[in-house]
Structure 1
Amino acid sequence: MKKVMIFTENAPKPIGPYSQAILVENPGKFLAISGQIPIDPESGQIVRGDIREQARQAIENLIAVLEAAGATVEDVVKVTVYLRDMGDFEEFNKVYEEYFGHSKPARAVVEVSNLPKGVKVEIEAIAIFE
C-alpha cells in the first residue's frame, strides 16, 4: 500500500494541519479530499458572494485537487457538504448538479453552526479510480 499527500497550487493551501488530499494505492487508487471552502487559490481571499458563487468556487477547488491526483468528477463516489444555512440547500443543489448531476455520487448534506473563515459551504469528497 502506498500513501501520498496531494498538493496543488490550483486549490487553496491548507489553513491548518491537514493535506488537500491523501491518495492511497492498493492496487487501485483511493483519494480522500479534505473539505474545500470558497477561497480563490490565486488571491487567497474568500469568495464573498451568495451560496451559488461560494458553492461554485468550493467545487472548483475540489476539482483542482481531484485533477492534481489524476482523478475526475466521474471518479467521486462520496461527497459530504456542510452548509451554514439549510435554507441555501435548493440554490446549492442547482450549482452542485452542474458538476455532479451526471455521475450522482452518494452524498450527505449537513447544516452546521459555523465553518472556517465564516463561509457558507464546505465540501469534502472520496474518489476511487485506477
Structure 2
Amino acid sequence: MSDKLTKTALTPATHTTPPAKFSHGVRKGNILQVAGQVGFGPAVEGQAPTPVGPGLREQTLQAFANAEAILKEGGASWEDAVMIRVYLTDTGHFAEFNEIYNEYFASLQEAPAARTTVYVGLPAGLLVEVDVLAVLG
C-alpha cells in the first residue's frame, strides 16, 4: 500500500471551470493552495464571468469571498492561512487596499498570515487578485 498523499482539486459550486488546465484550489495532505482569485461574481451558467463592480472595494471583497469558498471547500478557513499574496494593478490603490484588508481580517483570532503585495497587469476591468496558502491541522 502506498503512503503517497492524494492531491485533490477544489472547485466550489460558485466558481466557473477554469479557462485552462489548472485548479481553483488544491489540497494535498494538510497543505491547501488557493489559486489567484479575482473579483468575479458567482458563476452563472452560460455567461462569462464578470467583475462585481468597477471599484477596488467590491472587487477585493469578492476576491476574498472567492478565496474563502475554496478554503472552505478544502476544509480550511482564514485562520489556517499562512501566506496571502496580493496582486494590484495600480500602486495608488495600496493604502485603500490596506484599509479594506485590515477591516476584513480584524476578527482573526490567531496571528495574521504573512503577506506579499506586488503590482501587475490583469485582464481589462480587474483591479486585484489574491492567492492563499493554508496549512491545516
TM-score by length of 2: 0.84
Partner in structure 2 of residue 111 of structure 1: 119
The CA deviation at 1:99 is 2.8
Q: What secondary structure does 1:15 align onto?
A: coil
8 Å CA contact 1:73–1:99 kept in 2: the answer is no
Moved more, 99-108 or 68-77: 99-108
Pairing partner for 2:64 from 59, 64, 78: 59
CA distance in 1, matches of 2:27, 2:134: 9
Q: Which amino acid aligns with 2:117?
A: V
SS in structure 2 of the partner of residue 54 of structure 1: helix
Larger Rg: 2
1:90-127 per-residue CA deviation (whole Å, 9 max, x = no partner) reads 11112212333434200000011x11344000000100
* Unpaired stretches in structure 2, ≥5 consecutive residues: none
- 1:122 and 2:129 correspond: yes
User: Is the contact between residue 51 and residue 125 of structure 2 (CA under 8 Å) also seen in structure 1?
Assistant: no
Paired residue total: 126
Identity of aligned pairs, percent? 35
Matched residue, 2:31: 30
C-alpha distance after superposition, 1:44-81 (max 9, x if no partner): 32122211111111011001111111100100000110
- Residue number in structure 2 paired with 1:15: 19
Distance, in Å, in 1 between the alignment partners of 2:23 and 2:124 is 18
Alignment of 1:75-94 (within 5 A): 75-94=80-99
Normalised TM-score (structure 1): 0.88
Indicate the structure with greater helix content.
1
- After superposing on structure 2, the runs of 4+ consecutive aligned residues of structure 1 that deviate more than 4 Å are none
RMSD of equivalent CA atoms: 1.5
